[in-house]
Amino acid sequence: MLKGILLLGPTGVGKSPLGDLLEAQGLYGRRFLHFDFGRELRAIARGEIRDGILPSERVFVQKVLAEGLLLENEHFYLAEKILRAFLQFKEATGEEILVLNGLPRHEGQALLMKEYVNIPLVLVLEASFEEILERIHRNTGGDRKGRDDDRIELIYKKWQTYKARTRPLKEFYARQGAKVLKILVGRHTRPEETLASLKQGLPRTDFNKLFKS
């Protein structure tokens, strides 16, 4: 079974740039695959991913993105389909560490994900709402260009949904025995700085204990 790192944090806090950096550079000699669920959904909504996606599913994904919704348990089959296609496209061997970004986002999804990925580490990126707005406005992470879901009302809705349903996953995974590492992110924090904070909070010896083969 794949082992993974779950990135938690509201939209705009820098999860995607960090995940991309981990996939590009690796960490402590290990290879990473960054599964950015939101990015996959946006590609489906634009029609860039068609293999295995029904027209009705594309319409549903467009609605989810436009309204800032979460996939509920009854729609988890779609998340599973997207994850399997991603792993096949990346030619995953099972030796990689999967960086999960945007999935799971509530406890129901987390329970269903246990069948596919073991998550020994949860990395929580935290910032105030004001700092998040600044990060998005400045495109601090370099990942906001071309996004049409950065309307202020939708950002606020996602922030409220995150606090109510996603942030509690910290406690869920802590009860499962996972290590939870919190990193504070400011309006100017770059992904390289966040990665440095990760290394500081999780030295190689501790990392190897969590992700031993």
Asked whether the CA dihedral 44, 161, 190, 200 is positive or negative, the reply is negative
Beta bridge partners of 125: 183
pTM of the model: 0.94
Quick one: tokens of 29?
Answer: 């000699």
Q: Would 146 be classed as within a structural domain? A: yes
Q: Is 147 a member of any domain? A: yes
In a domain, 83, yes or no: no
Per residue in 32-79, pLDDT (tens digit) is 999 999 999 999 999 998 788 999 999 999 999 999 999 999 999 999
- Is residue 169 domain-resident? yes
Domain count, the chain: 1
Q: How many angstroms separate the CA atoms of 19 and 15, rounded?
A: 6
Coil, helix or strand for 51? coil
| Residue 145, in any domain of the structure | yes
User: Residue 126: in which H helix or E strand, if any?
Assistant: strand 117-126
Structural domain harbouring 191: 2-37+95-210
Distance of CA 1 to the CA centre of its chain: 19
Please list the alpha-helical segments (H only) found in the chain.
Answer: 15-25, 37-45, 55-67, 76-89, 107-113, 129-138, 152-161, 169-175, 191-201, 204-210
Query: Which CATH number fits the domain that encloses residue 151?
Result: 3.40.50.300
Tens digit of each residue's pLDDT, the chain (213 residues): 899 999 999 999 999 999 999 999 999 999 999 999 999 999 999 999 878 899 999 999 999 999 999 999 999 999 999 999 999 999 999 999 999 999 999 999 999 999 999 999 999 999 999 999 999 999 998 888 877 778 899 999 999 999 999 999 999 999 999 999 999 999 999 999 999 999 999 999 999 999 986
Asked whether residue 33 is domain-assigned, the answer is: yes
Residue 25 lies in a domain: yes
Q: How far apart are CA 2 and CA 10, in angstroms?
A: 25
| 46 part of a folded domain | no
